[in-house]
Amino acid sequence: GRDSGKAQAALSFSEIPHGLDHRHHLPEGYRADILLRWGDPLHPGEGDFDPAGLSAETQAKRFGYNNDFIAFMPLDSAAGPGENARHLASGNSRRGLLCVNHEYTQPHLMFPGYRDEASATRSVSAEHVAIEQAACGHAITEVEKTADGWQPVLQSPYNRRITLATPMLIVGPAAGDQRLRTRDDPTGTRVSGTVGNCAGGKTPWGTVLIAEEGFGGAFQGDPDNIADPVEALNHHHFGISAGNRNWGEHDSRFDIEHEPQEPNRFGWMVELDPYDPASTPRKLTSLGRFQHEGFTLVCKPGQPVVAYGGDDDEHQFVYRFVSRHSYLPGRDQHNRALLLDGTLFAGQFNDDGSGRWLPLAFGHGPLTPENGFRNQADVLIDARRAAALLGATPMDRPEDVETNPVNDCTYVMLTKNKRRTTADAANPRPKNATGHVVEIVPPGAYGRRDHASATFQWNTFLLGGNPNAEDPRLRGAYGQQSPGAISAHGWFANPDNVAFDPRGNMWVATDGCEDFGFHDGLWAMATEGELRAAPRHFFGCPQGAEVCGPEFTPDGSTLFVSVQHPADARHSTFDKPLHRWPDNDTKKAALPPRPSVLAIYRADGKPVGS
């Protein structure tokens, strides 16, 4: 069971209405600074963004495309590079490193000359491919709150872009395995860059975890032309097909018929150290290979690190990692090895509200050579197949999975699954178009739960959709303890990312509300008390965009959000975009729509939402 905690301090902002237009929307009394836009320079002397003058070289020194996950890592003025513990301990909420994922590119909105949707996802030249590869990955930018609001600090030594050209190491149990070796890397331990960087997480030793989600879209080639049937099935699993975008035509490592094992070097979680600009990011094979949305940590002194993550695809699974060794605050060298050694589990959500974590361990149950697993590397590389064989519960596209630091329960955003035919208790609606949120309750008391336990209880926290919808498959359910607690604008669909403010309120970012006639945005709600699961609408984004990466400063006074793919709509191209947010430029050589990060705060400086 679940012992409910105390009611959380009420959210008192004035709710905004559902709407759909070319602007972003905030409650009264709030300000949003447009902090970083695609193409903004990250170093002095780079000059303003000029889409006509873009090259791979300049893009690699600028903010990338389709910003997603955000981590705010505080900076202590008295500490230097590598002094992670001092930076974190400062709790500085006015100066820090903004660590932002750049998930994917949309060449038809980035480059002139794309005529129609048929060509929209195809790059026409090697130069386009090189620019796109420099626009993906991650950006680390020092930011500070000045009298004029939040600003990037261009002269900062920490500013850095991570792209598909950034050298990385492959570490953990699968490193060096024969299935990770290629022409460029006969060792199976070194890889160039990262792609599909969706959401992520942070560690208390001052590193950032970034996910590799939809990496299959970067590859082309027909899996059925691959001789090894295990590898062919593996590539099919990740949507690699002959019809994909044509990076492979200009960069042969993205052609699986040329380099059939290169995709095995993507689909991992990547750990990077933003406080050390010379550090080499590492792909952590211990966390398995699938379409990672992100991984978020629960770290308690003297206990194993527990990390939760989702595989964002229809009928895929929720995962949990438990480290072999314990987290010891301040012992950074020790802690930096924790995510390399431990056990990955997949979640089984039973109809009676109980749950079990099933270990992805070679030799356990069906994970044997008879089923095509040679060793632990195979189990991790083919984690999806292993989890399915173990009997994990196929879910409705698990996006963010994150733990509320106040009540210590873990929340799973299940965005939708229109292909579901058979409902179960944890995925209760066939053809789920609106998504839902599941609450995991590990054993133990409020605020002190055992996340390393083999079992858990779970509840349906809310069902997305309009609570008054006639069709029960689309009908939402909120605020069960206080029916009627939400306004006509309080409902949403398609939960994707989630954050918790310092008071334990849940902030959900959506991806898909335009299917229901209004903008994507943010909805905030309590997780305890009478107003549990009763959302209020806080932020709305411009048409075509989804909202990602909500992230609070340590004191909760600023909320950073990513507005991803603005003006993404039918027939919307660089030459004729649906709109030109955020610059809204009307000059002759007008700027295109630009994915951007906003810094949101109250004019009076009090915590966001209070």
Interface positions with Ca ion (CB under 5 A): 198, 399, 496, 511
Q: Amino acid identity of 85?
A: A
CA distance 567 to 155: 32
Q: How far is the CB of 19 from ligand FEO (least distance, A)?
A: 23
Q: How far is the CB of 227 from ligand FEO (least distance, A)?
A: 32
Contact call for residues 214 and 104 (beta carbons, < 8 A): yes
* Residue 322 β-bridge partners: 306, 343
Q: Which two tokens stand for residue 401?
A: 């999975």
CA distance 176 to 184: 13
Give residues 21-50 in contact with ligand FEO (rule: CB under 6 A): none
Q: Which two tokens stand for residue 278?
A: 């010379």
Count CA atoms closer than 13 A to 184's CA, side-chain side.
Answer: 15
Which listed residue (132, 213, 528, 551) binds ligand FEO by CB under 6 A? 213
216 or 490: CB nearest ligand FEO: 216
Residue 255 makes contact with ligand FEO by CB under 6 A: no
Closest residue by Cα to residue 132 from 117, 115, 114: 114
Count CA atoms closer than 13 A to 584's CA, side-chain side.
Answer: 7
Q: How far is the CB of 375 from ligand FEO (least distance, A)?
A: 30
**Residue number closest to Ca ion, CB atom:** 511
Contact call for residues 144 and 553 (beta carbons, < 8 A): no
40 or 213: CB nearest ligand FEO: 213
Q: How far is the CB of 520 from ligand FEO (least distance, A)?
A: 12
Q: How far is the CB of 539 from ligand FEO (least distance, A)?
A: 18
Q: What is the per-residue binding string for ligand FEO in 465-504, x denoting contact by CB under 6 A?
A: -------------------------------x--------
List, as own/partner pairs, every contact residues 112-119 make where C-beta atoms lie below 8 angstroms and the sequence separation is at least 24, other chains included.
112/51, 112/52, 112/574, 112/575, 113/574, 113/575, 114/573, 114/574, 114/575, 115/573, 116/571, 117/570, 117/571
235's enclosing H/E stretch is helix 229-237
Q: How far is the CB of 365 from ligand FEO (least distance, A)?
A: 29
Residue 399 makes contact with ligand FEO by CB under 6 A: yes
314 or 450: CB nearest ligand FEO: 314
Q: How far is the CB of 497 from Ca ion (least distance, A)?
A: 6
Give residues 365-394 in contact with ligand FEO (rule: CB under 6 A): none
85 or 509: CB nearest ligand FEO: 509
Q: How far is the CB of 415 from ligand FEO (least distance, A)?
A: 7
399 or 501: CB nearest ligand FEO: 399
Please choose which of ligand FEO, Ca ion, none residue 213 contacts, taking the beta carbon within 5 to 8 angstroms, the exact cut-off set by kind. ligand FEO
What is the DSSP-derived secondary structure letter of residue 386? H
2 or 315: CB nearest ligand FEO: 315
* Residue 142 β-bridge partners: 97
CA distance 265 to 367: 21
Q: How many residues bind ligand FEO (CB under 6 A)?
A: 7
- SS3 category, 510: strand
Which listed residue (142, 251, 271, 312) binds ligand FEO by CB under 6 A? 312
231 or 293: CB nearest ligand FEO: 293
Q: How far is the CB of 293 from ligand FEO (least distance, A)?
A: 5
Q: How far is the CB of 45 from ligand FEO (least distance, A)?
A: 33
511 or 528: CB nearest Ca ion: 511
CA distances (Å), 198 to each of 131, 222, 284, in order?
A: 19, 25, 16
399 or 501: CB nearest Ca ion: 399
CA distances (Å), 347 to each of 393, 523, 564, in order?
A: 6, 27, 30
Residue 414 makes contact with ligand FEO by CB under 6 A: no
Which listed residue (33, 40, 103, 528) binds ligand FEO by CB under 6 A? 103
Q: What is the per-residue binding string for ligand FEO in 193-212, x denoting contact by CB under 6 A?
A: -----x--------------
Q: How far is the CB of 140 from Ca ion (least distance, A)?
A: 20
Q: How far is the CB of 247 from ligand FEO (least distance, A)?
A: 18
27 or 398: CB nearest Ca ion: 398
Cα Rg, the chain, nearest whole Å: 23
Hey, which bits of 212-331 come out as E strands?
269-272, 282-284, 292-298, 304-311, 314-316, 318-326
Contact call for residues 267 and 289 (beta carbons, < 8 A): yes
Which listed residue (259, 271, 293, 514) binds ligand FEO by CB under 6 A? 293
The phi and psi torsions of 338 (rounded to 5 degrees) equal: -60, -40
What burial letters (b/e) apply to 128-149, b meaning 16+ CB within 10 Å?
bbbbbbbbbbbbbbbbebeeee
Q: Amino acid identity of 154?
A: L
The phi and psi torsions of 292 (rounded to 5 degrees) equal: -65, 125
72 or 104: CB nearest ligand FEO: 104
Interface with ligand FEO by CB under 6 A: which residues?
Answer: 103, 198, 213, 293, 312, 399, 496
